[in-house]
Amino acid sequence: MQLEKTHYTSDHIIYNVKSVNQDALQLINSDESFEAVYSIEPMPKYKVALDMGPTDDMDVDVLLPEDGKEYTTVGILDNGIANIPHLKPWLSEASWTAYPEAYMKKNHGIFVSGVVVYGDQFEDREWVGKRC
């Protein structure tokens, strides 16, 4: 049996148990064996692929700011935001970063910005505050 300890958070420890048979698993899970076991369950696995492109049913119209309407400025403290068509009309020229462009991976910043601008539309309810 192989046992790997991981500090999942500062006060939450996860053990990865490999090559264990059913008898050993029952022993680990029994009250007499080790009372500190909270639960034994498979760890969820998530996969996000950057090459997952949009499909025909995912077309989203570009939202544009209305002329003369004042909008709240939201600062996105993240890994950068690319000038993609859906976000470009909402980006301010007054931005600043200490990171060189070569070190910026803008994928998460694009996601967060997309939630700010399009979140209400996608959820069909007011979460962020109507933009348009």
pTM over 0.75: no
- CA-CA-CA-CA dihedral for 24, 27, 29, 31, to nearest 10: -170
| Per-residue pLDDT tens over the stretch 44-70 | 777 766 555 555 556 788 999 999 988
User: HEC states along 34-58?
Assistant: CCCCCCCCCCCCCCCCCCCCCCHHH
Which residues, given as ranges, of the chain have pLDDT below 50? 132
